[in-house]
Each structure stands twice: as structure tokens, then as C-alpha cells.
Amino acid sequence: MPRYHCGYSVGGSATSLSIVLAPRVRFAPAPTGYLHIGGARTALFNWLFARRNGGEMLLRIEDTDVERSRPELVEVIFETLAWLGIDWDGEPVYQSARVDLYQDAIEQLLASGDAYHDEGAVRFRIPDTGATTFRDVIRGEVTFEHDKLEDFVIRRSDGSPMFFVANAVDDSEMGITHVVRGEDLINITPKVILIREALGLTDRPVFAHLPLIVNEQRQKLSKRRDDVSVGDYRARGFLAEAMANYLALLGWGAPDGVEIRPIGEIMEMFRLEDVTKAPAFFDVKKLTHFNGEYIRELSVDEFTKRCEPWLEAGPWGKESFEPALFERIAPLVKERVKRLDEVPDYVDFLFLDEPHFDHETWDKAMLATPHVAEVLDATIACYGKVEWTAHEIHEATNRLVEALREELGVGKKKIQVAIRVAVTGRAVGPPLFEPLELMGRERVIDRLCAARARV
């Protein structure tokens, strides 16, 4: 079987995580305690490429920078990759256990004159003339003139090796043949190639540099101004399958133009040659739309299970939450939410002793409704005698609305919003009448009376 390797590193950090695949591909985000959107996209493209070609996925942790290498930070990346469905084979390989190999390589470069000591550090010597050229699957032929490159550090003054030499050694030793990473790291490529050549490593991997991911201002995603952590999106209730589907479209598209589809289908279609050079716009609105579509495809049982973390952290006490009650309203909620963190706001009125009133919503619903006191009085009287089923409540409310519209000149929408806000505290939510049935007559009338008193 041919062995391929695709690679990625963030910010030129020596402390990073690499995923190596056979067909072998490498992924290397710095263990900063979160996985960047760009890193996740690169990991996914590596995974798609490897799995489509019958690859084996290995994990390599680039932890030669001891100060920035804490196990808990790496663990977050492991968890995020697993959440996205990006699996790997075998045990991770830690570069911190391979430092002797890198030090031997550095000594070899010093002995050959390709490196030199400089103020406590060791620098690689760039040739004075010539150029380094490589073929990029996505960008075609890429050339770096040597007189435009500066000598660079390969061993820090504290004695630790830089990732340039570590990656050159590991990629060759592990039989890596393809390196896939972000466009912002393309300037690393000639340096690693020069190190490999200086070490006598004549094999050279194939490179593929993925397009940058930009925000709506067409600026590169940055943690200083953008939401870039995959974990943050997970915490906001985005589904793993929706996120993976959307990430796959950041620089690539299915030939049939269908965007929302299972990752297995994407894998069967994915080719590095089809990745575009143009920057990819990370559109949160589009991701949110994807997420809503995936939520609606969940079974009620699965939706309920996925909601558990947000329901357990809801604004009600544990003793007030009734799982059976939520399960009855879940089919209505899952048709309307686009993120799982929206769920508590859709159902809190069922479990709170009193509805939570947002002042703006209350004023808009009540102060803007003509004759609102009469509307609430009539609703209380109507609900006191109707048969308490969603269907009968709905029918009775329709008759009430027609009567009030004729008598008071109040529009249907204003009446229904006033009732909804009085009972639930919110102007938006699941269809009104099923929740009213679930709450029970006494509780609904108590809330209408409380709203009437407040008016």
C-alpha cells in the first residue's frame, strides 16, 4: 500500500499535535487548550483523504517546547477530534520522547557546515544562491528564492530542538509522503525541504496547502476578533455532524453541488485536487442553518439525549425539571431551534415557578396591545370552562379572538402574543396550545391572573 502523509501546524509553534495517516497524512495544531476552526478543517481534510484511500491514521504530538506542553491542553484537542468523528489508529507518538534523534540531526548539520552556533542558539544556513521549488497539489509549482530567505533557528538557546528539524526527521522516518496544511504555513515548506536535503534525506513528500479561512470582512480568522474555537461552538449547541459537514465545504465542494450530506458520502467524493485556492469564508449563519437541518433529522429520543447537558444546567432547580414533560414537548422544540443551547429558553416556562419576563418583550406584548386588560379577563373566563386539550384550547381561543376582534378591534396576532407572553414570558416558542395542555388548567389560569394584576 502506498503511504501518504498530510501535515498542518499552527503559528510555527514547536509544540503541536500531528496526525499521521497511511496513506499517511499529518496534522499539527499547537496544544493551546482548544482546536482552532482552521486546524479542525485541516484535520478533517487529512482524515477524509486518508480514509478514502484506505489509510491508517496515527497521532503524533509535537511537544518539544516543554513550557507549552501540558497534558490537559493536548487532551482537549484529542476530545475535540473525537467529537468531530476524526479517529486514529494506535497509540500517539510524542516528539518529547524522540529528542535524541533531533539532537543527532542538528549535530550532523553542524558538522557539515549547514548549521552554525549563534548567541546560544543553532541556526540553519540558507544557501546563498539558487531556489527551492516544490509541486503543490492545490497551487501548482511554488518557488522560493534563497536570497529571500533568512537563516532560521533549529535549536533554541535552552537546547530544545525547533519543529523544523523535528518534522524533517519524523516525516522521513515515518514514511510520510503527503503533507496537507494551511496556506499560511507555506513558507515553512522550503525550510523543511532544505533540512531534509542537508541531512541526505532524498525522499520528498507531496505538498498540498489549503486555502485560508476568512471572516465576513475577508480577514483571516483570528482569536482576537473571531470565535475560532471548535469547543466554543460545541458548547453553544452545534452538532458534531453539522460542524464536520460544514468544515468539509471550506475550500472544497461536492461535484453535484449538494452541500448537506452525511460525512460518509463526502469521504467518497473528496479529492485534494478539487480543493480551491481561493480563501474560504467561515459563515456562522450558514453553519447555523446546517445545524438546524441536522437537529430536525434527529429522532425525538436522540434530540432529548443531546439536550441533556443544557437541560441539566437550566435556570430551574433539579427537583423542578420533569424529563417526561420535556419529552412530550421535544418534538415541537426540535422543529424550531437551530442550536441546542436555545432549548432551555423554549421550555423554561414549563419548569419555573413563574415565567421569566424580559421587560422589552413584556412592554411590546402588553403595552402595544389595545384593551389588554379586557383581553386577559376574557381569556381567563374562556379557559376556565373549556375542555383541557390542545385541540379544544385552540378552537376556543380562535372563537375568543374572533369575538374580541369584533368587540374591541384587537388583531388576532396581538391577542395571541399577549396570551403567550402572559403564560410563558416569551413572544417566541413552540406552538402555544400543546404547552398549555401540558401545564394544566390551574397553572395557566394562575399565570394569566398574575399578568392581569401586573397590567
β-sheet with 93-94: strand ranges across = 15-22, 56-63, 93-94
CB 195 within 8 A of CB 164: yes
The tally of CA atoms less than 13 A away on the side-chain side of residue 306 is: 29
Residue given cell 373549556 in the structure block: 386
CB 28 within 8 A of CB 74: no
200: left (phi over 0), alpha (psi -120 to 50) or beta: left
* Of 197, 190, 182, the residue nearest 151 (C-alpha): 190
CA triplet 103, 165, 196: central angle to 5 degrees? 115
Q: What is the full DSSP assignment across 195-214? A: HHHHTT-----EEEEEPPEE
The Cα-based distances of 390 to 58, 434, 435, 437 in angstroms read 56, 5, 8, 5
Establish whether 285 is a catalytic residue.
Answer: no
CB 13 within 8 A of CB 51: no
Catalytic residue from among 148, 223, 412, 413: 223
* Residues with catalytic roles: 223
